[in-house]
């Protein structure tokens, strides 16, 4: 197996160049196999050979850059599912929280959705394809996924724990194709402003995005708030197609440079746009990366959209994915992305990658040391800067759902405290708090987070073993109220209702909505370019 795997890697990566350096490669191969043999023979305990080989490949790739990576067969399969936007399963996202397999989200119209599985349910038991019931307590998410997924048309049994119910609720769910929806919200904020939230770029994103634009246009949309916050990227072709929806035919969207054949590529808008006259404000934050940076960078360089928020992550390495032996895969950096004005989006990294990978945890400032070499010009002559993400035209900090909470507030968010609390309103399918607090009334759309609810939430933190920082709690009160409202809305009334109400409280979004005068001026510049025949 080892020889097959290594030969696949060598052949897939290096091609004809291997022949020119065969002696050197053979020597290094002998060194590696000798070290591997010594570990397999003499290490204090027996170690599976795949663990050794996979670890060696990961180590090799980690000497290159933060994004060249190895995928074991399970990881490679999951990565392909995300790219394709569909798979066979139940249609849920799960996470292991304190040893419990907890449902974090249920995809609309999925098998799990149709059976009534809810966000916050705990999968306590899984009946595998062999008919054996397995206690899922202490499982990792990966272990649970392996049992929950399976061929289309087969069934899996689960026993779930749900707040407000004693004992387990048994369900049998038929596995089916699950479409991963990437448009996570599309609605009218007011009579003229449409809003679209894109969570990632998969093979279905442009189709979803186009349908959302059409729906909003039919409702009277005359300007768009395009939310790319926390979007980690994805398929390049989808970023190009979505950019093309706003740019005149012929405009450069992105270009790449590298040293392998076909690494130097230019990608332009090739289709006639139906939304040239639509003013666009693009929301980004420190977790907007890769394909989302390509879109926001292209719209900014062509003065086609006003970019608002935080400086983006700065990931712009071209990753070529190779399938190797036994269903495993590798992603190798083969080039770099540049915006139309020539900006390098990629942020520098240190040798250990620590500073690079913890970027999103650090405080951001509007002030940044910039060199003249990084400065480029947009189509209209505005200054923009490269060398580390896309800098917004209008800066406002907001790392968590548009807010800038203290470390305590971020802890509440990370520990799923708001999700846990929202589960109280789901008990027995109604909209009441637990019977412990009769002073709180049933909820309906447009409810208010009262002082009594805030106190009840505060008391609930004891169950999560979260120590309350009173000063930070007061400082984060607006954020805490907004997140309580958001998660309860998601549970009772759906994601569009939740995000619509959150936008009304979101400081970044409200700041963005106040800058459409500049977005309108940019749209006029594009109209003038098109009228002059500058394609």
Residue 401, SS3 per DSSP: coil
Active-site residue identified among 68, 69, 273, 290: 290
Half-sphere exposure of 171 (CA within 13 A, CB side): 23
Determine the distance from the C-alpha atom of residue 50 to the mean position of all C-alpha atoms in its chain, rounded to a whole number.
Answer: 30
Q: Which of 388, 406, 404 is nearest to 396 (CA)?
A: 404
C-alpha 332/C-alpha 320 separation (Å) is 5
C-alpha 156/C-alpha 173 separation (Å) is 6
Residue 157, SS3 per DSSP: strand
Catalytic (active site) residue 301: yes
Q: Which DSSP category does 234 fall into?
A: B
Active-site residue identified among 301, 303, 456, 506: 301
- Structure-block tokens of residue 136: 């899922």
Which residues have C-beta within 8 Å of that of residue 22, sequence separation ≥ 6?
none
Q: Which of 329, 422, 507 is nearest to 118 (CA)?
A: 422
Residue 132, SS3 per DSSP: coil
- On whether the CB atoms of residues 137 and 160 are closer than 8 A, the answer is no
C-alpha 51/C-alpha 35 separation (Å) is 14
> With the C-alpha atoms ordered 75, 80, 83, 89, is the resulting torsion angle positive or negative?
negative
The alpha helices in 219-304, defined as continuous H runs, are 236-244, 291-301
Backbone angles phi, psi at 370, to 5 degrees: -130, 140
Half-sphere exposure of 246 (CA within 13 A, CB side): 33
Active-site residue identified among 69, 149, 243, 315: 315
- Structure-block tokens of residue 119: 């966000």
C-alpha 360/C-alpha 364 separation (Å) is 9
- Structure-block tokens of residue 445: 């759309």
C-alpha 265/C-alpha 220 separation (Å) is 38
Judged on CB neighbours under 10 Å (0-12, 13-18, 19+), 217 is middle
Catalytic (active site) residue 205: no
C-alpha 15/C-alpha 18 separation (Å) is 6
Q: Which of 320, 253, 265 is nearest to 293 (CA)?
A: 253
Residue 460, SS3 per DSSP: helix
Catalytic (active site) residue 290: yes
Largest Cα–Cα separation, the chain = 80
Active site residues: 290, 301, 315
């Amino acid at each position: 197996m080892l020889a097959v795997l290594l030969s696949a890697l060598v052949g897939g990566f290096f091609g004809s160049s291997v022949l020119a350096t065969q002696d050197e490669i053979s020597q290094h191969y002998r060194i590696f196999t000798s070290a591997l043999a010594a570990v397999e023979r003499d290490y204090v305990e027996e170690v599976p050979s795949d663990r050794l080989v996979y670890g060696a490949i990961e180590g090799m790739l980690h000497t290159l850059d933060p994004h060249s990576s190895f995928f074991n067969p399970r990881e490679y399969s999951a990565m392909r599912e995300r790219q394709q936007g569909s798979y066979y399963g139940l249609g849920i996202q799960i996470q292991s929280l304190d040893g419990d397999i907890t449902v974090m989200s249920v995809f609309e119209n999925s098998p799990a959705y149709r059976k009534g599985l809810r966000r916050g349910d705990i999968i306590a038991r899984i009946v595998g394809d062999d008919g054996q019931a397995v206690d899922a307590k202490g499982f990792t998410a990966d272990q649970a996924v392996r049992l929950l997924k399976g061929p289309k048309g087969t069934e899996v049994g689960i026993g779930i724990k749900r707040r407000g119910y004693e004992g387990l609720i048994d369900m049998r769910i038929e596995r089916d194709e699950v479409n991963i929806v990437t448009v996570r919200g599309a609605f009218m904020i007011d009579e003229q402003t449409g809003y679209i939230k894109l969570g990632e770029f998969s093979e279905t994103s442009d189709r979803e995005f186009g349908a959302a634009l059409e729906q909003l246009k039919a409702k009277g949309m005359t300007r768009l708030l395009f939310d790319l916050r926390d979007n980690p990227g994805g398929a390049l072709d989808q970023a190009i197609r979505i950019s093309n929806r706003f740019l005149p035919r012929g405009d450069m969207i992105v270009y790449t440079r590298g040293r392998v054949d076909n690494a130097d590529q230019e990608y332009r808008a090739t289709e006639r746009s139906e939304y040239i006259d639509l003013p666009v404000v693009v929301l980004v934050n420190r977790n907007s990366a890769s394909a989302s940076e390509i879109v926001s960078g292209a719209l900014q360089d062509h003065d086609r959209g006003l970019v608002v928020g935080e400086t983006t992550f700065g990931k712009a390495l071209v990753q070529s994915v190779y399938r190797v032996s036994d269903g495993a895969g590798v992603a190798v950096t083969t080039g770099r992305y540049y915006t139309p004005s020539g900006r390098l989006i990629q942020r520098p990294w240190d040798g250990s990658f620590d500073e690079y990978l913890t970027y999103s945890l650090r405080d951001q400032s509007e002030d940044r040391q910039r060199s003249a070499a990084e400065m480029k010009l947009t189509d209209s002559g505005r200054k923009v800067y490269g060398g580390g993400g896309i800098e917004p035209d209008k800066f406002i900090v907001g790392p968590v759902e548009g807010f800038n909470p203290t470390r305590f507030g971020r802890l509440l968010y990370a520990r799923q405290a708001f999700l846990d609390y929202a589960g109280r309103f789901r008990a027995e399918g109604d909209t009441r708090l637990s019977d412990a607090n009769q002073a709180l009334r049933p909820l309906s759309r447009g409810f208010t987070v009262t002082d009594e609810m805030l106190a009840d939430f505060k008391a609930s933190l004891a169950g999560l073993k979260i120590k309350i920082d009173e000063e930070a709690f007061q400082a984060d009160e607006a954020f805490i109220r907004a997140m309580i409202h958001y998660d309860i809305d998601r549970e009772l009334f759906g994601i569009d209702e939740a995000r619509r109400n959150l936008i009304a409280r979101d400081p970044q979004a409200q700041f963005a909505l106040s800058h459409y005068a500049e977005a309108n001026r940019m749209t006029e510049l594009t109209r003038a370019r098109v009228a002059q025949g500058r394609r």
